[in-house]
Amino acid sequence: MNTVVLGLQWGDEGKGKAIDYLAGSFSVVVRFQGGHNAGHTVYFQGKKVILHVLPSGIFYPDCAAVIAHGVVVQPLQLVDEINNARALGLSLQNLALSEHAPLILPFHQELDVVFEDSRYQRIGTTRRGIGPAYEDVVGRRALFVGDLLHEDVFRAKIAPLVEYYQRLFLAHGHPGVNLNEGIEQYLQAGDFLRTFVCNTAQLLQQAFSDGKDILFEGAQGSLLDINLGTYPFVTSSNTTIAGVFSGTGLSTKAVKRVIGVSKAYTTRVGEGPFPSELVGENGRLLREWGHEYGSTTGRPRRVGWLDLVALKYAVQINGVDSLFVTKLDVLDELEEIPVAVAYKGHGGPAEMFPPHADVLARVKPVFRSLPGWREKIGAIECFSDLPVQLRDYLRFIEDFVGVRVSYLSLGGERRQTIEISA
């Protein structure tokens, strides 16, 4: 059954783990937005592997892995990632890269850093050039993977862009950046990637009409969506359900089920409001228990309690059918587990989530404390063996957000997952 897996919080919910668990019964796994700002962790043969652009289904040799045109691609990074995957013994024969995927160029990354270090716009980005690359798409001056395959086309198209960026860097007080640096390496990377490049929209349409099961792998989280997230502290793509359609070329008919991934608590990397944030010693403890350090940048993640107001918003905007709840084991030692159930201070209904950052920064969350289970759950394999307090915790979430929990994750490994039948 064609399924979309989306993060429902600020990213790092455990989408890689969820995709890896589910992918075995799919013929195709496809990334449709974002870029190498993503860091999806999967355990393969007991080894921790972090994927940035390669879909998390690559560990199943019969599953085609597709990087569709909604993804922004940094060719040198992708070459490295492919080489790393091959070093793990994966053939990647089934990898397809869209010829229409926009390129992240060297000066995009430079500009991301310039903006981050300036006083205009400190978002706490991953500094990978994601925002500037998508800006060029919207500004109708982007270069694409397909351009990289023809040296003359690439050189002809990049020359005016270099001039444009020269003026931009000058205006920002950075006249000395060498904008031609990296062009030769990009062309070499293009040669390396050539065998994977194709029209993925056509490939996916064919897979769909052949009745193959397709798994769509979201990156980032719904609250980082450029239109529906906590603007301006967001990423530059549609991380919500809309990104599936614009990023693949498939229609709503190609999606039968939407699974939302949420941690049993909340984390956020980078700047921006976080109503249920936990600071001080308790925050430090939760960060240590959950090993909450960024998969892409290594930054310590901000941590906080589960925010059901925010989660319900994410469920609604995505049309989520059921939840995949991760990292429940991280809460094992707690006597009481607070969850945010309402907001005060934004002048609206208590259960309304106001996404824009200046309003969200004003809200005061109202917490409800639920009993903890105080038991190690990582080795439990069956739903009925779970502590009653944990099952009650899940029921409380289900009742609040209005959809079922269908998968539980009790550890990072594939086997530490429990599927709950309807």
Binding positions for ligand GDP, rule: CB under 6 A: 7, 11-17, 39-41, 295, 326-327, 329-330, 409-412
* 112 catalytic residue (yes or no): no
Q: Which does 270 bind (CB under 5 to 8 A by kind): ligand IMO, ligand GDP, Mg ion, none?
A: ligand IMO
For ligand GDP, the closer CB: 197 or 269: 269
Q: Which of 39, 70, 102, 247 binds Mg ion (CB under 5 A)?
A: 39
Tokens 């609604």 correspond to 316
36, 40, 52, 108: the active-site residue: 40
**329 is a site residue for ligand IMO (CB under 6 A):** no
Task: Concatenate the DSSP letters of all residues of 154-220 into one string.
Answer: HHHHHHHHHHHHHHHHHHTT-TT--TTTTHHHHHHHHHHHGGGEE-HHHHHHHHHHTT--EEEE--S
Q: Which of 249, 260, 270, 290 binds ligand IMO (CB under 6 A)?
A: 270
* φ/ψ (deg, to 5) at 102: -65, 145
Least distance to ligand GDP, CB of residue 261, Å: 6
Q: How far is CA 23 from CA 173, 277, 320, 326, in A?
A: 48, 33, 19, 17
- Compute the least distance from the CB of residue 374 to ligand IMO, in Å: 30
Binder of Mg ion out of 12, 99, 292, 307 (CB under 5 A): 12
DSSP 62-115: TSEEEE-TTS-B-HHHHHHHHHHHHHTT---TTEEEETTPBBPPHHHHHHHHHH
59 vs 165 by CB, closer to ligand GDP: 59
Nearest-approach distance from CB 390 to ligand GDP, in angstroms? 13
Q: For residues 248 and 342, what is the distance between their CA atoms, to the nearest angstrom?
A: 36
307 is catalytic: no
Residue 197 sits at φ, ψ, to 5 deg, of -80, 135
Quote the radius of gyration of the chain (alpha carbons, Å): 21
Fill in the amino acid letter for 16. G
Give how many residues touch ligand IMO by CB under 6 A.
Answer: 24
* Region of 36-44, 139-147, 230-238, 262-270 interacting with Mg ion (CB under 5 A): 36-44
Q: Concatenated DSSP letters for 386-418? A: S-HHHHHHHHHHHHHHSSEEEEEE-SSSTTSEE
Residue (94 or 222) nearer to ligand IMO, CB: 222
Task: Summarize as ranges the residues that interact with ligand IMO (CB under 6 A).
Answer: 7, 10-12, 37-40, 123-126, 128, 130-131, 219-221, 224, 235-236, 269-270, 295
**Residues with a known catalytic role:** 12, 40
